[in-house]
Amino acid sequence: MRVTVESTELSKKKTSVLCGFIVEGTKRVIGLDSMGSEIDRAVRDSVSETGGKLGKISIVNTMGKIPAERILLAGLGKKDKITGDTIRFVSGKIAQRAREFGLANFAVIAPDDSIYDKVSAVSCIVEGAKLSLYAFDQFKKKKAEKSPDLFVIASKSPGIVRAVKSADIIADSVIFARDLANLPPNECSPDMLGKTAKKLCAKKSRLRCKVIEKAELKKEGFGGIFAVGQGSRNEPRLIVMEYSGADKSKRPVVIVGKAVTFDTGGISLKPGEKMDEMKFDKCGGCAVFGIIRAVEELKLPINIVGIVPSVENMPGGGSYRPGDIIKLYGGKTAEIINTDAEGRLILADALSYGEKRYSPKETVDLATLTGACIVALGTNVAGMVSSNDRLADKIINASKRTAEDVWRLPINDDYIDMIKSDVADMKNMGIGRAAGAITAAAFLKNAIEKTPWAHLDIAGVAWTQAATKKRPYNPSGATGFGVRLIVDYLSQ
Ligand code: BES
Ligand code: ZN
Ligand code: ZN
């Protein structure tokens, strides 16, 4: 799907379908001027038909009177309820309709500032359209229908042109993350992710990639990654991607992502039901790939390090066991209570490594860490735990703009006490099911000494599940959650 922005006069625009928005209860199509009395009348009738209700679409034939073959009218709902996400949502509906009809292209008239900030609106149009036409069909003979091209009709001011370009890059980066995350576990191993990182960074002057393999992980003391990875024939990796967009003296932001290419639970084996979904246990790491890709293409003037610990958690003769005591990269020891609580072990190593090696300004991690987070918040909101209010607020602001929702959970020493062990510095599980999302975060907090840190538990939002709210821009499978959120936070 190609995206272009243009300020063509509507009565001259040649397109398969010219698309405009309507606010509920109004008679006017935003930005659509008179197209001649016959078309105007047909449009008026059509407007009263749908009433501008959110997501409702009607189509008017232009009878060859203007170059546009049809006019599509899409409801935005009530004016005081319109947000950026409304536009993202409706733009997605329009795009899906255009594809259903097999159209070659569609032109969307951007709403003006009286409806929503114009620059944000064009970004939402682009994101909504591109992400809604995503399909993971590389393993199917019958592919999804071809995506129509998008024309955004708006004034070609530098701000608008930049916004469209950025949104296009960001949407492609979300798609990059989804494509990786949707891969089945027989195709996507830690080694394959390492190779993907190398390819992503190749020939990019601002990107450098390092992949640490099994022997070196052991030698350098990555006890968590090594232990979790030791039960699988697919060896563990620690993937590090450095982006330099600013002077070397500027401290980087470190972004860590959990990439368990398949989580069986290990010796503490998971039940069989829905175990296939544990191919999505790599979604945090895949989001980091998408973030690095976006930051590089956007050429953001900052330094960033993406760190992705990757393992496959399997049961077998070589697996780590409940009862084992391991030593993490940061120097603390952990008693293993449950081998299914593997994410915190590999993340702890990566977080400590990030802090020691890079002295970051801030560290953020993304992980499909706990089922408890789904119990607490459901499948439309990510859980956030942070040691720093300023950082947490920045992420909450980014969340409001991107509609990648997060809700902050508390943390204090009582939770840290819940992971104390009798035989080691800590244990990899709290007390029963109590506050499972927070005790997991408490384990991570122990891996960081002083850096402002925020942890995002994306277990509920990383892919579409039964209770996931239907949004056209999140078709079934991996959502790429975190790419838009973190790129927004990094752009602030
Ligand atoms: N990858 C899972 C968490 C998960 C479960 C994500 C379901 C998405 C959907 C994680 O490694 C895990 O198994 N966590 C355990 C921790 C427990 C053993 C302390 C959990 O949440 O049950
Ligand atoms: Zn697990
Ligand atoms: Zn897991």
pLDDT tens digit string along 404-438? 999 999 999 999 999 999 999 999 999 999 999 99
Ligand 1 pocket mutation pick from 286, 369, 370, 458 by most atoms within 8 angstroms of CB: 370
Q: What's the rounded mean pLDDT across residues 169-198?
A: 99
Q: Which ligand is nearest to the CA of 265?
A: 2
Dump strand ranges (E) for 245-386.
253-257, 259-263, 303-313, 325-327, 333-335, 362-367, 382-386
CB atoms within 5 A of ion ligand 3 belong to 260, 263, 281, 343
Q: Which ligand is nearest to the CA of 258?
A: 3
Ligand 1 pocket list (CB less than 6 A):
263, 281, 338, 340-343, 368-372, 429, 436, 459
Alpha-carbon radius of gyration of the chain: 24
- The whole-model pTM stands at 0.98
The residue nearest atom 17 of ligand 1, judged by CA position, is 341
Q: What's the rounded mean pLDDT across residues 385-397?
A: 98
SS3 60: strand
How far is the C-alpha of 50 from the C-alpha of 168, rounded, in Å? 30
Percentage of the chain lying above the pLDDT 70 cut: 100
pLDDT at 186: 98
Ligand 1 atom at shortest distance from the alpha carbon of 313: 11
CB atoms within 5 A of ion ligand 2 belong to 263, 340, 342
Is residue 207 over pLDDT 90?
A: yes
Ligand 2 centre to CA of 479 (Å) is 20
Ligand 2 centre to CA of 355 (Å) is 25
Question: Which residues does residue 75 pair with via DSSP β-bridges, in sequence order?
Answer: 22
Q: What's the rounded mean pLDDT across residues 17-35?
A: 95
The residue nearest atom 13 of ligand 1, judged by CA position, is 340
Residue that has been written with the tokens 């994101």 in this structure: 127
**Residue 230 neighbours by CB distance under 10 Å:** 18
How far is the C-alpha of 365 from the C-alpha of 383, rounded, in Å? 12
Contact 339, 267 (CB under 8 A): yes
Contact 394, 489 (CB under 8 A): yes
Question: For this structure, is 357 an active site residue?
Answer: no
pLDDT at 415: 98
pLDDT at 40: 96
pLDDT tens digit string along 439-492? 999 999 999 999 999 999 999 999 999 999 999 999 999 999 999 999 999 999
Contact 472, 132 (CB under 8 A): yes
Ligand 2 centre to CA of 366 (Å) is 15
Q: Over the range 367-394, which residues count as b (16 or more CB within 10 Å of their CB) and which as e?
A: bbbbebbbebbebebbbbbbbeeebbeb
pLDDT tens digit string along 52-97? 999 999 999 999 999 999 999 999 999 999 999 999 999 999 999 9
Ligand 1 atom at shortest distance from the alpha carbon of 439: 19
pLDDT tens digit string along 338-368? 999 999 999 999 999 999 999 999 999 999 9
Ligand 1 centre to CA of 290 (Å) is 23
Tokens of 10: 């509507």
How far is the C-alpha of 447 from the C-alpha of 361, rounded, in Å? 16
The residue nearest atom 7 of ligand 1, judged by CA position, is 371
Catalytic residue among 165, 198, 218, 270: 270
Residue that has been written with the tokens 């859980």 in this structure: 383
Ligand 2 centre to CA of 369 (Å) is 8
Which of the four pLDDT bands, split at 50, 70 and 90, describes residue 6?
A: very high
Ligand 2 centre to CA of 113 (Å) is 47
DSSP code for 28:
P
Question: For this structure, is 274 an active site residue?
Answer: no
Ligand 3 centre to CA of 414 (Å) is 24
Is residue 372 over pLDDT 90?
A: yes
pLDDT at 33: 87
Ligand 1 pocket mutation pick from 340, 379, 429 by most atoms within 8 angstroms of CB: 340
Tokens of 394: 């920045």
Catalytic residue among 279, 344, 394, 484: 344
Ligand 1 atom at shortest distance from the alpha carbon of 428: 19
